[in-house]
Amino acid sequence: MLSLIAKRLGIGLITVLAVSIIIFLGTKILPGDAAELRLGQSASAENLAVLRERLGLDKPYWQQYLSWLVNFVQGDMGNSLSGDTPISGLIADRYQNTLIVSGLTALIGVPISVALGVMAAMFPGSTYDRVLTFTSVTLVAAPEFFTATLLVLFFVLFLGMGSTIVSGSTDGMGLFELIQHFALPITTLCFVIASQLIRMSRAAVLNVMASPYIEMAILKGIPRRRIILRHALLNAIGPIVNVIALNLAYLITGVIVVEIYFSYQGLATLIVQGVQTRDFVLVQSLGMIFCATYVVIMLIADIAAILANPRQRHPK
């Protein structure tokens, strides 16, 4: 287990480093820079040169990247190029907002989706299974903004419930008040993760059900529900946990469309603002946070899958 964790951590560090290089080069490909956007089109060449020198944009690309990397490793994210504001403060103001929506979505959507997928595996080929499969495939094909638009049309315009703008302070709110406040974005994200979790849970359980020991249990007359819950589910937990981890990483890093649609001030909208202002320091810092979150979640998923299935702890 320790060797596996060390190996995955090494691969994760290499992945984070590669992602940081790709993000840096991507921001440099975009036309213009932070100095031009701050001073405007009417700025003189002398003023642009002075501001670029102050921001460090006059240095070669490799020097800019290494300077940022050294500061980041030391725990210093630096200041935003677009407003000289400490990036740690900008992220602290937004991280809680994204974490609230992502946490509530995972708390509600993941257990329900896995339970629906397992129930579909209990009754394969039934009307319930076909309806659920058709619904999940439809949700996979529907983009987030389309699902959000349908929910707004139904709840806000037709029923008069909820709001299309999710903003304001959430201090002092309880769990049910938070769910009510973020009902529409949470429902949208639940539909997104459910489309994958339901299908993967069903497929993983049915794949294990084709094993010889399961067939023997069926021949002994053990009820299908007991076979799935007590024998098949633990052996199918590996793929299910990996899909759950991917969806949890998506909830942290990939909610840009949902946050922009509902005017919610989270990390996703912050990175969009960084790209618009050519603030590569802000984009780099957020990119590292997103990538590190993904690596950590996938490592936890691998460990959980190995602990749940003893067979994966042995090479044969």
CATH of the domain at 277: 1.10.3720.10
Has residue 314 been placed in a domain? no
Joined together, the tokens standing for residue 199 give: 């299908």
Joined together, the tokens standing for residue 58 give: 């006059």
In this structure, the chain runs to a length of 316
Shared domain for 67 and 108, answered yes or no, is no
Round to the nearest angstrom and report the end-to-end CA distance of the chain: 16
Could you list the mean pLDDT of each consecutive 10-residue stretch along the chain, which spans 316 residues? 77 86 83 74 76 79 85 80 79 79 85 87 84 84 81 78 63 66 82 85 84 82 81 77 80 74 78 81 84 82 70 58
Shared domain for 219 and 142, answered yes or no, is yes
The predicted structure's pLDDT at residue 256:
75
Give residues with Cβ within 8 angstroms of 306, minimum separation 6. 1, 4, 312, 313
Chosen domain end from 45, 73, 101: 73
Has residue 80 been placed in a domain? no
Shared domain for 214 and 280, answered yes or no, is yes
Domain tally, the chain: 2
Q: Kindly report the number of other CB atoms within 10 A of residue 200's CB atom.
A: 22
Amino acid at 157: L
Distance CA 189, CA 104 (A): 10
The predicted structure's pLDDT at residue 188:
85
Angle, helices 127-141 vs 87-122, to 10°: value is 150
Distance CA 71, CA 22 (A): 18
The predicted structure's pLDDT at residue 11:
84
Shared domain for 42 and 187, answered yes or no, is no
C-alpha separations of 104 from 110, 159, 177, 184, 312 in Å: 10, 23, 11, 12, 31
Has residue 315 been placed in a domain? no
Has residue 234 been placed in a domain? yes
Shared domain for 110 and 186, answered yes or no, is yes
Range of the domain at 101: 88-309
The predicted structure's pLDDT at residue 57:
77
Has residue 82 been placed in a domain? no
Q: Hunting for tokens 């909208």 — which residue is that?
A: 269
Nearest to 138 by CA among 189, 202, 186, 192: 192
Shared domain for 67 and 152, answered yes or no, is no
Nearest to 38 by CA among 26, 55, 24, 56: 55
Shared domain for 69 and 92, answered yes or no, is no
The predicted structure's pLDDT at residue 139:
81
Q: Is 311 exposed, middle or buried (0-12, 13-18, 19+ CB in 10 A)?
A: exposed
Has residue 183 been placed in a domain? yes
The predicted structure's pLDDT at residue 312:
59
Shared domain for 221 and 275, answered yes or no, is yes
Shared domain for 152 and 190, answered yes or no, is yes
The predicted structure's pLDDT at residue 235:
76
Has residue 83 been placed in a domain? no
Joined together, the tokens standing for residue 278 give: 């050519």
Nearest to 38 by CA among 58, 52, 56: 52
The predicted structure's pLDDT at residue 162:
64
Shared domain for 99 and 172, answered yes or no, is yes
Shared domain for 7 and 150, answered yes or no, is no
Which residue blocks in the chain are alpha helix, DSSP H? 2-29, 34-39, 45-55, 61-73, 87-122, 127-141, 144-151, 175-181, 183-209, 212-219, 224-227, 233-235, 237-253, 256-261, 267-276, 280-308
The predicted structure's pLDDT at residue 313:
60
